[in-house]
């Protein structure tokens, strides 16, 4: 049975001290469900300290927000999957729409990132359409291509390690959220595409998160959808009361 997950992507927010304080506030908040895996994705500088703080909690884990597509080399400012794993982090976000947009990351580059990361980390792989693709009704073709070009080269065993995050780009940081009907429809489409490629067992066990302005007010409705297994949370993950409310929305 696929696990329920709430992952908080802090993006470029929080100093180290502020990040550690936020983790302490989350841990000291009212009881969060142990049935939900809580993944914290802070900036790189936080990884080791937060991983150490959470090392005794099986229901918490740490993720990096990105990794380089090569193992090592003369790439100033970049961080490898092996380096991330050495901090105690277990997960890595790959293909976030902001990386695709401002860093120009293509499906080919993202495929290489998955290949280099998957032996050491669990990828949280982001897919989704922009507003033009949604309005032109080509969003499903876009998502199919993202899956095919970046992930469907994997063996069934390796694909089984992947977490998918559907993020409609038009809903990220805009305050606009896909309706539960829209989100469920795309999540079902993703699961159907996985079924076609890898079969029912893998498709039914692939966790698919929703990532598009999910917050404390709409999380319960979204998470009640049969194919939505949790959320990749942006701004709402920066406040302990909000993220705890989202966690407890299942």
When pLDDT is averaged across residues 4-33 and rounded to a whole number, the result is 93
Please provide the distance, in angstroms rounded to a whole number, between the alpha carbons at the two ends of the chain. 15
Position 170 scores a pLDDT of 85
- 96-99: long-range contacts, CB 8 A cutoff, minimum separation 24: 96/9, 96/65, 96/66, 96/126, 96/167, 97/126, 97/128, 97/130, 97/167, 97/169, 97/172, 98/11, 98/172, 99/66
**Which range marks the domain in which residue 17 is found?**
4-247
What is residue 117's three-state secondary structure? helix
- CATH number of the domain at 135, please: 3.20.20.70
> Domains in the chain: how many in total?
1
Query: Catalytic amino acids?
Result: 96, 167
**Could you read off the pLDDT of 35-87 as tens digits, one per residue?**
899 999 999 999 999 999 999 999 999 999 999 999 999 999 999 999 999 99
pTM of the model: 0.97
- Closest listed residue to residue 8, CA positions, set 211, 220, 225: 211
Q: Is the pLDDT of residue 238 over 90?
A: yes
**Could you read off the pLDDT of 90-122 as tens digits, one per residue?**
999 999 999 999 999 999 999 999 999 999 999
10 Å Cβ neighbour count for 230?
Answer: 30
Position 30 scores a pLDDT of 63
């Amino acid at each position: 049975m696929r696990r329920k997950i709430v992952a908080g992507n802090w993006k470029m927010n929080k100093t180290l001290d502020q990040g550690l304080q936020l983790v302490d506030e989350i841990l000291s908040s009212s009881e969060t469900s142990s049935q939900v895996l809580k993944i914290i994705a802070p900036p790189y500088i936080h990884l080791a300290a937060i991983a150490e703080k959470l090392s005794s909690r099986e229901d918490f884990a740490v993720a990096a927000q990105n990794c380089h597509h090569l193992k090592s080399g003369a790439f100033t400012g970049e961080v490898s999957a092996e380096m991330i794993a050495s901090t105690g982090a277990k997960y890595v976000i790959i293909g976030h729409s902001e990386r695709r947009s401002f860093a120009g990351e293509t499906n080919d580059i993202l495929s290489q990132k998955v290949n280099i990361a998957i032996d050491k980390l669990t990828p949280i792989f982001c897919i989704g359409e922009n507003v033009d693709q949604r309005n032109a009704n080509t969003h499903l073709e876009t998502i199919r291509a993202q899956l095919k070009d970046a992930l469907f080269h994997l063996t069934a065993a390796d694909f089984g390690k992947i977490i998918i995050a559907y993020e409609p780009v038009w809903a990220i940081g805009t305050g606009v959220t896909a309706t539960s009907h829209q989100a469920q429809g795309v999540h079902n489409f993703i699961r159907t595409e996985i079924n076609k490629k890898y079969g029912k067992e893998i498709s039914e066990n692939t966790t698919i998160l929703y990532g598009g302005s999910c917050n404390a007010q709409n999380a319960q409705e979204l998470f009640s959808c049969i194919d939505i297994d949790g959320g990749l949370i942006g701004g709402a993950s920066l406040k302990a009361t909000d993220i705890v409310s989202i966690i407890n929305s299942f």
